Chain A
Amino acid sequence: MSFDFTPALISLKVTCVSTAITFVIGLSLSWCMWQYKGKFKALIDGIITLPLVLPPTVAGFMILLLIGKNGPIGKFLDLFDVKIIFSWYAAVIASVVVSLPLMYKTALSAFEQLDPNIADAARTLGVSEWTVFSKVSMPLAWPGIAAATALSFSRSLGEFGATLMVAGSIPGKTQTIPVAIYFATQSGDMNLAFIWVMIIFSISLVTLVSMNYWNQYQFTKKLGTRR
Chain B
Amino acid sequence: MSIQIDIQKKLQGFHLDLSLHTEASILGILGASGSGKSMLLKCIAGLIKPDEGHIEINGKTFFNSTSRINLKPRDRKIGYVFQNYALFPHLTVKENIAFGLHHKRDDQATNLINLISKLHLNGLEYKYPSQISGGQQQRVALARALATNPDMLLLDEPFSALDEHLRKEMIKEMAQYLDLFKVKTLYVTHQMDEAYYLCDDIAVIKHGRIDNISHKSTLFNNPLTLESAKITGCKNFSKFESTASNTLFCKDWGIALPMGEAIPLTSTNCSTLGIRNHHLKCVDPSENPTSPNQIKGWISDIVEMPTQSTLYVKFNQPPHGPEDYHIQLDVPHEKRAQIKEVLFIEFPLDKLLFLED
Q: For the complex, is A211 an interface residue (Cβ under 8 Å from B)?
A: no
Cβ distance B325 to chain A, nearest Cβ, rounded Å = 42
> Which chain A residue shows the least CB distance to B156?
A117
Cβ distance A120 to chain B, nearest Cβ, rounded Å = 5
* A118 touching B86 in the complex, CB below 8 Å, given contacts A124-B45, A227-B131: yes
Q: For the complex, is A47 an interface residue (Cβ under 8 Å from B)?
A: no
Q: Is there an interface contact between B84 and A222, defined as CB atoms closer than 8 Å?
A: no
Q: For the complex, is A43 an interface residue (Cβ under 8 Å from B)?
A: no
Within 8 A of A (CB), among B205-222: none
Cβ distance A110 to chain B, nearest Cβ, rounded Å = 14
Cα–Cα, bound, A136→B80 (Å)? 17
Interface with A: B70-78, B110-118, B225-233, B254-262, which one? Answer: B70-78
Within 8 A of B (CB), among A209-225: 222-224
**How many A-B pairs with Cβ below 8 Å?**
73
The interface residues of chain A, by DSSP majority, are classed as helix
> Which chain A residue shows the least CB distance to B84?
A117
Within 8 A of A (CB), among B241-261: none
Q: For the complex, is B223 an interface residue (Cβ under 8 Å from A)?
A: no
Q: For the complex, is A72 an interface residue (Cβ under 8 Å from B)?
A: no
Cβ distance B48 to chain A, nearest Cβ, rounded Å = 10
> Which chain A residue shows the least CB distance to B81?
A121
Q: Is there an interface contact between B131 and A125, defined as CB atoms closer than 8 Å?
A: no
Cβ distance B185 to chain A, nearest Cβ, rounded Å = 15
* A118 touching B88 in the complex, CB below 8 Å, given contacts A124-B79, A127-B100: yes
Q: Is there an interface contact between B130 and A127, defined as CB atoms closer than 8 Å?
A: no
Q: Is there an interface contact between A227 and B73, defined as CB atoms closer than 8 Å?
A: no
Cβ distance A26 to chain B, nearest Cβ, rounded Å = 22
Q: Is there an interface contact between B74 and A128, defined as CB atoms closer than 8 Å?
A: yes
Cα–Cα, bound, A223→B92 (Å)? 9
* A224 touching B84 in the complex, CB below 8 Å, given contacts A124-B78, A126-B100, A126-B148: no
Q: Is there an interface contact between B130 and A223, defined as CB atoms closer than 8 Å?
A: yes
Contact of B47 among A120, A226, A227 (CB under 8 A): A120
Residue from the set B80, B82, B86, B87 with the largest chain A CB neighbour count within 10 Å: B86
Q: For the complex, is A139 an interface residue (Cβ under 8 Å from B)?
A: yes
Q: For the complex, is B128 an interface residue (Cβ under 8 Å from A)?
A: yes
Within 8 A of A (CB), among B51-102: 72-80, 82-84, 86-90, 99-100
Q: Which residues of B contact A (CB under 8 A)?
A: 42, 45-47, 72-80, 82-84, 86-90, 99-100, 128, 130-131, 144-145, 147-148
- Additional pairs, 10, CB under 8 Å, beyond known A124-B74, A136-B88: A121-B82, A121-B87, A123-B73, A123-B74, A124-B47, A124-B80, A126-B148, A127-B99, A223-B128, A226-B130
A-B contact pairs, 10 of them (CB 8 A): A118-B87, A118-B88, A121-B80, A121-B88, A123-B47, A124-B74, A124-B78, A125-B74, A140-B90, A224-B131
